[in-house]
Each structure stands twice: as structure tokens, then as C-alpha cells.
Amino acid sequence: MTRDEFDQFCAGLPATTNVIQWGNASVWKVGGKIFAICSGWGAGEGPKFSFKVSDMGFEVLTDMPGIIPAPYLARAKWVQLEDVAAMSDAELQKHIVAAHEIIVGKLTKAKRAELGLC
């Protein structure tokens, strides 16, 4: 998945917003809370996708080759694909949808209602 494909996919999820921060990272939020990030700052460095996962997902995914605890976010159960070949585009999309759902579940009922996510 390319950064543009990542951005297009995330834009298709309900009530999402995008900001560019931390250099040139594409940061996707729902209700003001981050659910997925695409970074890659080094020369010739490809995209690195980070996303929120469940506790069990964190344990399983970080045991897989090419997937690490996300720098600065691991304590909150985020993972990062160091190698884009670590999972297929379809698998990555499923995890991004799950990350979106996890974050939506953490929003207040009022915020979910405001965003039309009830």
C-alpha cells in the first residue's frame, strides 16, 4: 500500500480527519483521536504504517516479522509495519478499520452522536 492509497482508504472511513504533523506524517483521526499514521522520513525510506490494536492484537502482531511496537505509542498498544510486505493491503485495511472502531468505542456517547457514529 502506498501513502496515497492509505490516505484514500482512511478518508473513506466515517467521520475521519487528516492532518500532516511530526514532520511529514499523515495522521488520521476520528473525534480528534488518532487511529492510524503513515510516516517515513528518511531518504529513500518507504512508508511505515502505525495503528492502534487491541491488547491481544498487540501481542500477536508484534511477534510477526516486519511488525514492531510503534515508537512512542507502544504503551498504548500501537504497532508499526517496519516492512510493508509484513501484511497484505487487505490485511492492513482490516487492521485500520479495527483501529478506527477501537477509537470510536473510546469516544463519549455525545461525541459519537455529534459525529453521526451511533
In this predicted model, what pLDDT tens digit does every residue of 4-49 receive, in sequence order? 999 999 999 999 999 999 888 999 999 999 999 999 755 456 789 9
Q: What is the per-residue pLDDT across 42-94, written as a single tens digit (0 to 9) for each?
A: 545 678 999 999 999 999 999 999 999 999 999 999 999 988 899 999 999 99
- Find the farthest-apart pair of alpha carbons in the chain and give their distance in angstroms, rounded: 44
Q: Are 87 and 53 in contact (CB under 8 A)?
A: no
Q: What is the pTM of this model?
A: 0.93
What gap in Å lies between CA 75 and CA 40, rounded to an integer? 21
- 44 or 96: which leads in pLDDT: 96
Q: Which CATH number, 3.90.1150.30, 3.40.50.740, 3.20.20.30, 3.40.50.300, labels domain 3-96?
A: 3.90.1150.30
Q: Which residues pair with 36 in a beta bridge?
A: 28, 51
**Enclosing H/E stretch for 114:** helix 109-114
Q: Running DSSP on this structure, what letter comes out for residue 78? A: E
